[in-house]
Amino acid sequence: MAFMIPTGLSSSLKDDGEFKLVARDWTGGFRFLIGEDEKIEVAIENGVPTDGEVLAGDIITIRGPVEIWGALLQTQPPRFLNDLAVALQMGLQREGNDIFFTQYYPALARAVEIIRGTNPDQVQTISTHPSGGTIEAPVGRYVNLDLCGDSYRVYFEEAGTGIPILLQHTAGSHGIQWRHLLSCTSITDRFRLIAYDLPFHGKSVPPTGRHWWSEPYRLRGEFLRSIPLAFSDTMALERPVFMGCSVGGALALDLAARHAERFRAVISVEGGLKMDGDLADPEARAFFHPQVSNQYKGRLMHGLTSPTAPEAYRQETIQTYMSGWPQSFIGDLEYYLNEYDLRELAATIDTKAVAVHIMNGEYDYSGSWEKGEEAHHAIRGSTWTRMDGMGHFPMCEDPDRFIQYLMPILAKIEAAA
């Protein structure tokens, strides 16, 4: 397989606004070693790419077979090889300091995009946007909930009338991810949407009754499950629908297994029976490291979005990760990766008591198609939707397309009611 080495790469990187931001203060460079004979090499001096060999400083080397590099660097890469982080689990290997790699991973990922020829101006754009002066429908309020012995002030936004749907965001983010659904009248004319921020996330503040700042944040299943239950009781919601994505998608199936009587239906977006990942890996430890900024987490999440989604929405999705409390993401993964395991309970879920709908996106390597389909087969009577062209955050990375996939499910829930 022949490989075309790009020309003028250092100049392209030097002229790219995003690369200049994420490579600031870097002196050294990177080498991409392709097979036995070819390489892409860029020297960097104080954040500025230069021509010539990488000789000194902080150097990152990534090597691997031509086949993997060839797929990764295609203009339209195949599923999963759209992201450098996953390619490093599928045949590429890196050399260099672990912490330095995570500090400048956003620069490496952007370099890959530039080598591909990715031009933000050519990526799908937003076709419609409210005009200036428009006041949107969602209204935000606070509710005080007693959860596992502490009192929490929880922020939520709601819009619409009809069957209530509780909306749970992904790990490390907050309810803003559901903003497009809350403004979709095709949904809000028939459903009351309620999107809340988990405690310690978004506008939901920590409890005042304990010294939370002196202890590690770890999200536990008992606490997480108590939130939609307490919310439903306090808001007097009669058997609402629960829809969550990622950690929320796992929670949806968890609630169906343990609290079927409390919900008329659950919608698990990017869910599965058991999620893969090891919080002891160097890349995971960097999620909360004093030398690594939140920009690393955000860029990893960009790799979980679909390359066909509007770039403005992809960037908005990862901005919430970069602006969140540093402990929130890795703390949420305690439940998502370590505690959550529904493999034994899945067969006990009674879909006559609570309808179960599972949705998974093509480019999501965490809650993949395969994991969603496995859960569907394990839960008799459930439905599964394979979302082509979607990633891990469908409701916010490509909302128009996600709503098209969601509407038939909502129609089934409405018909059953």
- Helices 294-302 and 311-322: angle between axes, nearest 10 degrees: 150
Say yes or no: 75 and 155 in one domain. Answer: no
> Mean pLDDT across the chain, nearest whole number?
93
The CATH number linked to 350 is 3.40.50.1820
pLDDT at 415: 95
Q: What is the mean pLDDT of residues 328-348?
A: 96
Q: Are residues 112 and 168 in the same domain?
A: no
User: Among 67, 89, 119, which residue terminates a domain?
Assistant: 119
What is the predicted pLDDT for the residue at 119? 57
pLDDT band at 124 (very low <50, low <70, confident <90, very high): low
**152 and 77 fall within a common domain:** no
| 39: pLDDT strictly greater than 50 | yes
Residue 316 counted as domain residue: yes
- 144 and 112, same domain (yes or no): no
Each residue's pLDDT tens digit, 162-174: 999 999 999 999 9
The pLDDT score that the predictor gives to residue 231 is: 96
Please check the confidence at residue 137 and state whether its pLDDT lies above 60.
yes
Residue 123 in this model has a pLDDT that exceeds 60 = no
pLDDT value of residue 25: 95
Which CATH number fits the domain that encloses residue 24?
A: 3.30.1050.10
Q: How many domains does the chain have?
A: 2
Domain end (from 90, 119, 148): 119
pLDDT of residue 75: 87
Residue type present at position 20 = K
Quote the pLDDT of residue 374.
98
- Mean pLDDT over 306-322 rounds to 95
With a pLDDT cut of 70, the percent of the chain lying above it is 96
Say whether both 316 and 387 belong to one domain. Answer: yes
pLDDT of residue 234: 96
pLDDT of 142 reads 98
Tokens 């002229």 belong to 15
Domain boundary among 119, 149, 179: 119
Average pLDDT for 101-120: 89
Residue 131: pLDDT band by 50, 70, 90 thresholds? confident
Phi, psi of 137 (to 5 degrees): -70, -40
What would the pLDDT profile of 263-300 be if each residue is shown by its tens digit? 999 999 999 999 998 898 888 889 999 999 999 999 99
User: Cα angle vertex 178, ends 175, 184, to 5°?
Assistant: 145
Do residues 76 and 48 both lie within one domain?
yes
User: Are residues 36 and 143 both part of a single domain?
Assistant: no
Q: How far is the CA of 102 from the CAs of 2, 109, 121, 384, 413, in angstroms? A: 30, 11, 27, 35, 44
The reported pLDDT for the residue numbered 349 is 98
pLDDT at residue 122 is higher than 50: no
pLDDT tens digit sequence for 2-32: 556 677 899 999 999 999 999 999 999 999 9
pLDDT bucket at 127, cuts 50 / 70 / 90: low
Residue 133, in any domain of the structure? no
Segments forming the whole domain that contains residue 111: 9-119
Q: Is 375 helix (H, G, I), strand (E, B) or coil?
A: helix
The answer to the question of residue 186 being in a domain is yes
240 and 201 co-located in one domain: yes
* 90 in the same domain as 143: no
Residue 1 lies in a domain: no
- 74, part of any domain: yes
Contact present, 30 and 41 (Cβ < 8 Å): yes
Considering the domain architecture, whether residues 404 and 369 belong to the same structural domain is answered as yes
Would you say residue 44 has pLDDT above 70? yes
* Assigned domain for 87 exists: yes
pLDDT band with cut points at 50, 70 and 90 for residue 52: confident
In a shared domain, residues 293 and 164:
yes
Average confidence (pLDDT) over 122-147: 81
**Residue 169 within a domain:** yes
Q: Residue 42: inside a domain, yes or no?
A: yes
Q: What is the pLDDT of residue 126?
A: 64
User: Are 187 and 410 in contact, with CB atoms under 8 Å apart?
Assistant: yes
78 and 159 co-located in one domain: no
